[in-house]
Structure 1
């Protein structure tokens, strides 16, 4: 048996084939870049139809190479927090709004939850532009006539292939409108968003599986009749793919953005652990929760700094960084160039530098920016550990830290005395989604 794993990312869409233990098969990868359209208004959007075509291209490539023969399950990891308005025919009324978009704002005169702390404990989120409670009223006011409903990226993309794709509890938790205990839409959240249940996706029950439509089954005969699992949120999938599926081990992932997350087992209906006010909580699946903090600065900050500071490349950059002691940088940086993720509300353009002198070099500024990300994560990891009353091991992953050895050492300094190890696995999201879908997550503590 093999597993087709799809990864619906912010900068690319990928399809890869895994073996029955969810390990990637050599050479069985197809990738298409996608473009997030950004501007000075805070917009950060994707063309949902073009994104779907990119995914179809990836599967076409794998099918054409004969790599789908033997696939017995399709799993998907997808970015959280996206939203797109649809008309009655299911066509988008505008671009898909991503997690990077800072434009949504509450309607004039609107008020938030009656009890903000109870709302946070129940849904794991806040009344914030990041979530559908604010995004959907803003989209309704800006998408024009003909609105029928709202959906997210994976439901839109997979709905075309499967005929219908209900929303997983993992993806629904990322909207900020799911009651994490009852695993149903939260009535107060629906009211805040100004929507009925008919205007939001149907939720996938435990064990739901979809099948390709006849048209796509003819296009990809190897996948005809193969079950498709509902999409897992990319952060939850990345934790699982990194081996961080119990409270002994936290994942720090630096992809386009950065995040620190901790997974705990909590079955439906069971009481949730108390949630500190500084962090969010979503669902991995029906059996597990993930608590964490996320930041708009990550690999995007790394790429911006390399480009705009005209840094040396490769080994030359590492040689210059070797003179800077991690944790003892001269430049102090607020790395929030892209603004805050919730619960913060700082807009894009909130980054800042201090401690500059005429002798300051571009490499020292770069080190200060990278150190700033490390310090934010160290602060929030301590908050997460308070929910399990123990210190954790840290697994560090993601393409940005894989590319920069000094940044890995800076994380080790900021997170000390915790043990920190780096996992250079570029497909932890797809791997984690496959492990979740196939029921392959171990039930005991994570192995070292």
Structure 2
């Protein structure tokens, strides 16, 4: 059996084929970059139809290479918090709002939750611009035509491809509208969102499996009989793909953005443990929750610096970073604003300690080190709910690319043990393991090694 794993990210769409143990098969990877439109007004949007076309191109490429033969299962990792208004025909009434968009604001005179602490405990979220509680009224007010329903980016894409596309419990938990214990839409959250019956996606059952629509089955006949599993939120999938699936091990993932997270077994209906005020909590699946903190800055810090500061490249950059004097430049890395519960808008980044001797590499080091410290502070808070400090596993494309950044994280997170997951496709791998029902088994995943490896291989290596 083979598994097709889709990673529906913010900067790219990827499709890769894995074996029955969720190990990536050599050469079976297709990737398309997508354009994230950002502006000084705090916008951060994607073009839904173009995104769907990019995914189709990935599937075409994999099919042409013969990689889709014997695929029986399709798993997916998708970005939490995205939302797009749809018309009666399921067509977008505007661009997709991503997690990066900071424009939504509460309607005038709306008081918010009656008991914010209880609301946070039930939903794992806050009444915040990142969540559908605030996003849906804002989008409805600006839609060019009446809104028939709302969907996340994943549900929009799957709705176009599959015979039906209910929202997985994992993706629903990222909307801020889900009661995490009952696994149903929260009445107060829906009232805040001013959303009517039928305007939200149906929720997928634990045993839901989708099938391609006939037209798409003809385009990709190798997938005609494949079963499509409920998608997994990108953060949850990354934890599983990093081997961080219980409270003894925390994942620090740096892709376009960054996050620190812990997974705990917690079946539906079981009372939720207390949630610290500054942390969110979402669902991995019906049996596990993930708790953590996220940041709008990550690999995009490096991308910005690389674009604007004329940095040296490759080994030359790593060598220059190694020579930087620690603390020469300090920074606020919130170039993209705050993720919840913070409220700082986009454009809140700052640099301190600049002088005529300051180099572009000094600035980059200051930004990257500042993110390390944010993560370290929040990990301390996250560990307050577990018995002892966690081992940390670094993962994501940005971690695979920079030895210096891995070592900066290791220094910031000391004295904890800090290791590195060498597989750059942790999201897709994690989604496949969730689809296989092997979350707990991911603790034994291969590919975890030292942070000082200079050229970590881009594949899972069995330990």
TM-score w.r.t. the length of structure 1 is 0.97
In the alignment, structure 1 residue 282 sits paired with structure 2 residue 282: yes
DSSP 3-state at the match of 2:26: strand
SS at match of 2:198: helix
Give yes or no for the alignment of 1:74 onto 2:56.
Answer: no
Shift of 1:213: 1.4
Aligned partners of 2:440 and 2:31: how far apart in 1?
29
CA offsets 1:319-357 (integer angstroms, 9 cap, x no match): 2222236xx322111000110000001001100111223
Q: Partner residue of 1:427?
A: 425
Out of 286-295 and 387-396, give the one that drifted further: 387-396
- Say if 2:308 is the partner of 1:345: no
Native 8 Å contact 1:6 1:77 kept in 2:
yes
Contact 1:173–1:283, Cα closer than 8 Å, also in 2: yes
* Matching residue of 2:364: 366
Identify the residue that residue 47 of structure 1 maps to in structure 2.
Answer: 47
Quote the Cα distance in structure 1 between the aligned partners of 2:9 and 2:159: 17
Q: Confirm whether residue 265 of structure 1 aligns to residue 265 of structure 2.
A: yes
Indicate whether 1:335 and 2:333 are aligned: yes
Per-residue deviation at 1:438? 1.1
Which residue of the partner structure matches residue 63 of structure 1?
Answer: 63
CA displacement at 1:258 relative to structure 2 = 0.5
The Cα RMSD (Å) is 1.3
Q: Does 1:164 align with 2:160?
A: no
Partner of 1:356: 354
Which residue of 2 is the match for residue 378 of structure 1?
A: 376
User: What is the alpha-carbon distance in structure 2 between the residues aligned to residue 445 and residue 248 of structure 1?
Assistant: 10
In the alignment, does 2:440 pair up with 1:442? yes
Distance in 1 between residues matched to 2:241 and 2:103, nearest whole Å: 32
Higher mean alpha-carbon deviation, 260-269 vs 137-146, is at: 137-146
For 2:33 and 2:161, locate their aligned partners in 1 and report how far apart those are by CA, in whole Å: 20
The residue number in structure 1 matching 2:24 is 24
Q: What's the counterpart of residue 458 of structure 2?
A: none
Supply the distance in 2 between the matched residues of 1:319 and 1:57 (Cα, whole angstroms): 38
Residue 197 (structure 1) aligned with residue 197 (structure 2)? yes
Measure how far apart 1:163 and its partner are.
2.4
Aligned-pair CA distance for 1:362: 2.0
**Contact 2:376-2:412 at 8 Å conserved across structures:** yes
Q: TM-score, normalised by structure 2?
A: 0.94
State how far apart, in whole Å, the 2-side matches of 1:439 and 1:149 are. Answer: 31
Query: CA separation in 1, counterparts of 2:419 and 2:218?
Result: 45
**CA drift at 1:185:** 0.4
Q: Are the counterparts in 2 of residues 126 and 176 from structure 1 also a CA contact under 8 Å?
A: yes
Q: How far has the Cα of 1:121 moved from its partner?
A: 0.4
> Following TM superposition, by how much is the alpha carbon of 1:445 offset from its aligned partner in structure 2, in angstroms?
5.7
How much does 1:111 deviate? Answer: 1.3
How far apart, in 2, do the equivalents of 1:360 and 1:50 lie?
41
Task: Give the match for residue 237 of structure 1.
Answer: 237
1:417 is matched with which residue: 399, 402, 415? Answer: 415
> In the alignment, which residue of structure 1 is the partner of 2:451?
none
Q: How far is 1:300 from its partner?
A: 0.4
Look up the match of 2:392. Answer: 394
> Does the aligned pair in 2 maintain the 1:244–1:446 contact within 8 Å?
no
Give 1:167 deviation, angstroms. Answer: 0.3
Q: Whole-Å Cα distance in 1 between the matches of residues 421 and 79 of structure 2? A: 21
State the distance in 1 between where 2:442 and 2:26 align.
Answer: 29
> Where does residue 292 of structure 2 map in the other structure?
292
In the alignment, structure 2 segments of 5+ residues that lack a partner are 449-463
1:95 corresponds in structure 2 to: 95
Structure 2 CA distance for aligned equivalents of residues 156 and 347 of structure 1? 28
2:402 corresponding residue in structure 1:
404
Cα pair 1:249 1:446 within 8 Å, conserved: no
* Structure 1, unaligned runs of 5 or more: none
Displacement of 1:219 after TM fit? 1.6
Q: CA deviation at 1:442?
A: 2.9
Q: Secondary structure at the match of 2:228?
A: coil
Tell me the residue number matched to 1:2.
2
Distance 1:446 1:23 in 2: 13
| Structure 1 residue 296 displacement after superposition | 0.6
Instruction: Tell me which residue corresponds to 1:320.
Output: 320
Partner of 1:123: 123
Counterparts of 2:53 and 2:323 in 1: how far apart (Å)? Answer: 47
Is this contact kept in 2: 1:253–1:398, CA < 8 A? yes
For the residue of structure 1 that corresponds to 2:216, the secondary structure is: helix
Q: Say which SS state the counterpart of residue 118 (structure 1) adopts.
A: helix
Query: How far off its partner does 1:408 sit?
Result: 1.1
2:444 and 2:123 mapped to 1: Cα distance?
27
Query: Quick one: distance in 2 between partners of 1:76 and 1:323?
Result: 41
Asked if the contact 2:244–2:442 (Cα under 8 Å) also holds between the matched residues in 1, the reply is: no
